[in-house]
Amino acid sequence: FDRNIGRYPYPRLVIVDCPEGAEEAGGMEYPTLVTTMMPWPAFKWQRESEDVTIHEIGHQYFYGMLASNEFEEAWLDEGINSFTEAAIADEIYGRRRSWFSLGPWRASDAGYYSMPGFLSRPVTDPVVQPAWRYASPSSYAVSSYSRPLFLLRTAEELLGREAMDRGLRLYFE
């Protein structure tokens, strides 16, 4: 995040790995504190906890420092964060291996996590609107996470990774 978005200005970031039985507390963000969780059972080929951790750290930027208002325009927090989460996971694990990698079966964070939800829940809601105006929770999820992620992935394919990084840094500044 520091290299591609901007400098984290605080001296500390606390990451809490919630224990088994406290799964509802995992995957949340607060200023300078995030919660994550290890799925049970945990498999080496599955990277859910890494994905959640990257996503929640991303909220330190888009929700925390930029003060994106998730109730007014969720895509500015969840959508841009989902894009950067997928890009970071792809950089660490490989573009086709970031969500899971088991022999010949592998999937990227962007494809595995978002594509099924995107395709199984067609929505007509616009992306840019207050959270309370979405037709349903699934429409909110697709319009706030998946659709912006795929829009930004498409822009990255057209413009290139370096241009997207410059754009995200400019947005952050």
What's the predicted TM-score (pTM) here? 0.83
What is the model's pLDDT at position 162?
92
**Averaging pLDDT over each range in 26-40, 68-82, 104-118, which range is the top one?**
68-82
- Does 88 have pLDDT greater than 50? yes
3-state SS string over 14-73? EEEEECCCCHHHCCEEECCEEEEECCCCCCCCECHHHHHHHHHHHHHHHHHHCCCCCCCC
Neighbours of 82 (CB within 10 A): 27
**Which of 64, 102, 90 minimizes the C-alpha distance to 161?**
90
- Does 131 have pLDDT greater than 70? yes
Q: Which helix (H) or strand (E) holds 141?
A: helix 137-141
